[in-house]
Amino acid sequence: MTTTSTTAENTQRISMLKVLNPFHVWALGVGIVLVGEFMGWNFSVAKGGAYGALIACWVIGLLYSCVAMIDSEVTSTVAAAGGQYTQAKHIIGPLMAFNVGLYLVMAYTMLEAADALIVGDLMSAVAAATGYEGLSPQPFVVLTIAFLAWLNYRGVFMTLTLNFVITLFAFLAIIALFVGTDPLNPGSVLKHSDLLTDLPYGWIGVVAALQFGMWYYLGIEGTCQAAEEVRSAGRAIPLGTIGGILTLLVAATLTWYISTGLMPWQYLGQATTPLYDAASIIGNPSLQVVLFIGTMFAAIASANGCINDAARAWFSMGRDRYMPTWFGAIHPHYRTPFRSIIFLIPIAVSFAFTGLLDQVITFSILSGLLGYTFMSINMIKFRKMWPLDVIKRGYIHPFHPIPALVLLALCSVVYFATFLGYGASLLSIMAFYIVASVWFVMRRYQFVKRGDQFTMPWPRPKGY
């Protein structure tokens, strides 16, 4: 068999293919996120008004900049699929790793379901616009998930190359819309002086807006899942991740600027597709088509990246026996975690068929938030246990420990913001992860081979 590698002991092993470059990493991170610019972020306007949404955009931008810097440093040394799960396994311990792995799988699978729902709803909207009311979105939801799962099954290079093309198109659609608003002549198309108001609900509204500010950036941390398949994790992950967060900061600010200059906050706060609405207001049919395709591509790119990441997180847990080892299999031809990809298909379809976009997204955001909280603690422990002179990093983030402390503080504020709007969901998700942790400790941990899971060629941690 030509597709397997051989170790020194002449034992055949299959490994994932190292074929990705920084552009694929960028496409994975930005691809998962960019749909949030096309819809969702604008719910922050309903809570905090236009200025409140801008504060949320930049404060949460700071949160995710910390996430991107911390992730880049740790992943440049942990070149393994599983991302933050693998980091937790090496740096904190098994229970944390199990929880982080579960956060990742739940966050990405739920986001994938929401993205597929968006594609289905867009198809229904097109049908309604052409005179066919009541088209069921379900066949298009299933087709989206089935096609992208098939693509992921067949290989990571093609999957993320496609993501690069459609993500770039979606990003350029935002740029085209910005150009279409004649930004050099403020007041001609964009009416900020008429539309911007004071904070409608005061500063508590701004705090409540923070939760929806996460839509601008949720998922950029997914770049870490590519660590085992990039040619050089030490170079590609930091380049792709930092490039990704810079792209998103630009896209988020442009999105806010365009939308708040064309729509009053009362309308914008409840719009379903604000950027498409902005193109409609400008009245340029070509821009409308570009924005419609951009919205569709952004949702597909997001679902595509989510399948990639959820499958790798689940696969890594299987490989370490945190889940049944059956899930830790790699396809001998395509070199993908094929069983994990298959296993997660019915789960994503089930979430999508509930039709509860709000709840599904909230569960995804909260799972992500729990993961970011872990990352701040993880970073402080990582630098303490393995200082800079002990392990070579592909990237060293500046001003440590300020980014980790800022991340922890901002996560705490967003928990409070989430509690204001979705207190019951927050408590339910906490209960879910506590029950899962009890199951892991009581039932599953006995199967974990503790000695085998520490794979990085690191020296003993300081103090041990």
Binding site for other proteins (CB under 8 A): 4, 11-16, 18, 76-77, 79-82, 86, 127, 130-132, 135-136, 139-140, 142-143, 145-147, 149-150, 153, 227-228, 231-235, 316, 318-319, 325-326, 328-333, 338-339, 341-342, 345, 392, 394, 455-457
Nearest CB to other proteins, comparing residues 48 and 394: 394
Rounded Cα gap, residues 367 and 349, in angstroms? 19
**CA atoms of 376 and 390, how far apart (whole Å):** 20
Comparing CB distances to other proteins, the nearer of 182 and 452 is: 452
Q: How far apart are CA 280 and CA 295, in angstroms?
A: 14
Q: Which CB, 331 or 381, lies closer to other proteins?
A: 331
Peptide bond into 401 cis (omega under 30): yes
Smallest gap from Cβ 123 to other proteins, in A, equals 8
Q: How far is the CB of 88 from other proteins (least distance, A)?
A: 14
Distance CA 164, CA 157 (A): 10
Minimal distance, residue 270 CB to other proteins, in Å: 27
**Of 130 and 446, which CB lies nearer to other proteins in the complex structure?**
130
Look at phi and psi of residue 450 and say left if phi exceeds 0, alpha if psi is from -120 to 50, else beta: alpha
What tokens does 375 get? 């990352």
**Residue 12: strand pairing partners:** 6
Q: How far apart are CA 226 and CA 233, in angstroms?
A: 8
Instruction: Report, in Å, the least distance between residue 333 CB and other proteins.
Output: 8
Min CB(407)–other proteins separation in Å = 25
What is the C-alpha to C-alpha distance for residues 99 and 114, in angstroms, rounded to an integer? 22
34 versus 330: smaller Cβ distance to other proteins: 330
Looking at the Cβ atoms of 74 and 278, the one nearer to other proteins is 74
Instruction: Choose between 133 and 198: whose C-beta lies nearer to other proteins.
Output: 133
The least CB distance from residue 142 to other proteins, in Å, is 5
Q: How far is the CB of 155 from other proteins (least distance, A)?
A: 13
Give the helix ranges, DSSP H, for 320-401: 338-354, 357-385
Burial class (CB in 10 A: 0-12, 13-18, 19+), 5: exposed
Q: Which of 75, 24, 32, 28 is nearest to 219 (CA)?
A: 32
Contact status, residue 326 vs residue 340, Cβ threshold 8 Å:
no
3-state secondary structure of 425: helix
Minimum CB distance to other proteins smaller for 140 or for 216:
140
Q: In angstroms, rounded to a whole number, what is the distance separating the alpha carbons of residues 259 and 279?
A: 9
